[in-house]
Structures are given as C-alpha cells and as structure tokens.
Amino acid sequence: MLIRQLYDHDTFSFSYLLADLQTKTAMIIDPVKERLSLYLQLLEEFELSLHYAIDTHLHADHITGMGALREATSCKTLVGQSSKMDCADEQFADNDIIHCGNIILRALYTPGHTNDSYSFYLEENNGMPPCVFTGDTLFIRGTGRTDFMGGSSEDLYNSLFSQLLTLPDHTIVYPGHDYKGMNQSTIGEEKQHNPRLQVKNWQELAAIMDGLNLANPKKFTVAISANAKCGEVP
C-alpha cells in the first residue's frame, strides 16, 4: 500500500496517489490538470494501472485532472452523487465503499465548504494508521470557506463534529490544500489545536466564517465551468 501526497504549487492544492502495490492498481484523489505529467510519471514508475480519478467536490480554485487522466489512462472518473458533474462515469454516496485492489475507501458526505463535499476514510491497515482525505472540509488548523457553491457554516459544523471528529484520534488528516507550510496532522491534533474546532455550536463557527471576507479564487469562473465537464476548458 502506497500513499503519496502530491502538491500543486500554483494553487496550493494536494492530490493523493493511493496504490495497492500487490495488484498494481491505483486511484488519484483530487488531481490537478496541470500536474498530469507528474501523475503519469509516477504511474509508469510504479507500474500501476489507474482505476479511478476521484474529486472530493467540484473545485473552484483549480481545474480538475479527472478528464485528462481518463483520456490518458482510461480510468473511471468518480464524484459524489451531490456533484453536478454529469461528465463523471460513476457516483458514490455517503458511506459507500470504493474498492481498488485491496484498498477500501469509505466515502463520507461532509458538506459545508460546498454542498457536494465528500471526505474519504481509509481504515487502519497492516500497521499503517487510519487516514482521512478531507478535501476542503478540514484543513490543518483551518477549514475550507463556506461562502459559495452551496457552502454553509451549519453544514460544515455538522460535517466536522458529527463525521470527521468521530474518527479515531490517531487518524492521519490529509487535507486538500495547505497555505501555511503544514502537510499532515491527526484528528486528535486538530480537535485540540484547530481554532475553528474550538467552537461550541454552528453559530459560533458561522461568526468566524462570516468574518473572513475572502476574495474569490483566481481561477473561480473558469474552474467551475471546466470542472463541471471534468476539467475540459471550453
């Protein structure tokens, strides 16, 4: 079992290559279109067959590499059933299991950043601690924003407290972005030290989120329309 965290410097985005080295099958979570050659290089070096390209949600800050990977490798593209991405081959719902070789990934519906946000949980395996790929729902010492695309601070609060924070404390958190220089954490650590998880109710979280006043991401318009077509730029 191989997990590789890959970084797109231009958009501060993490993608994840997950591979079962026995069956030589792999999936990539949240691929970035401009990093296609890196993904293909790693697939070739590890002699992997890519089964799935998966997005945690319809991204507004980078163009998904799902379509480009499908074209290059014939993999299937997967998105959550709440995503408006008709281009995808298959959809998953809350608690669905995604199999890839011996990798068993559980989809968790975690709306809040957007109304189509999912996280993915990988159980403890062969001494490797459990992991959760949190997309833009939970960042290290932060969270995704909630001010567009069906975002909701109440949903985010529920996704964090009723879904992600109920995972074992030693679960490794692999986020969708990093802006601060940290690339890994644990659920226990975030519970204790993430400022947005020190709130008592969703209204307190909403007060934090409402005060952020963030500008739209640089690629906002082009990303949303392209990503609805799995990354095809008109």
Give residues in contact with its own copies (CB under 8 A). Answer: 4-9, 12, 35, 38, 45, 127, 178, 180-184, 189, 192-193
98 SS3 class:
strand
20 SS3 class:
strand
Burial class (CB in 10 A: 0-12, 13-18, 19+), 158: middle
CA distance 223 to 156: 22
CA distance 64 to 162: 28
The residue (of 21 and 206) whose beta carbon lies closer to its own copies is 21
CB of 45 to its own copies, least distance (A): 5
Return the structure tokens found at 58: 């319809």
CB of 84 to its own copies, least distance (A): 28
Helix axes 66-73, 36-45, angle to 10 degrees: 40
Which residues does residue 120 pair with via DSSP β-bridges, in sequence order? 107, 133
The residue (of 150 and 188) whose beta carbon lies closer to its own copies is 188
Closest residue by Cα to residue 20 from 89, 98, 81: 98
CA distance 78 to 75: 10
CB of 200 to its own copies, least distance (A): 21
CB of 46 to its own copies, least distance (A): 8
The residue (of 181 and 211) whose beta carbon lies closer to its own copies is 181
CB of 150 to its own copies, least distance (A): 30
Contact 2, 18 (CB under 8 A): yes
The residue (of 4 and 106) whose beta carbon lies closer to its own copies is 4
The residue (of 192 and 203) whose beta carbon lies closer to its own copies is 192
CB of 38 to its own copies, least distance (A): 5
The residue (of 3 and 228) whose beta carbon lies closer to its own copies is 3
Most distant CA atoms of the chain, gap in Å: 49
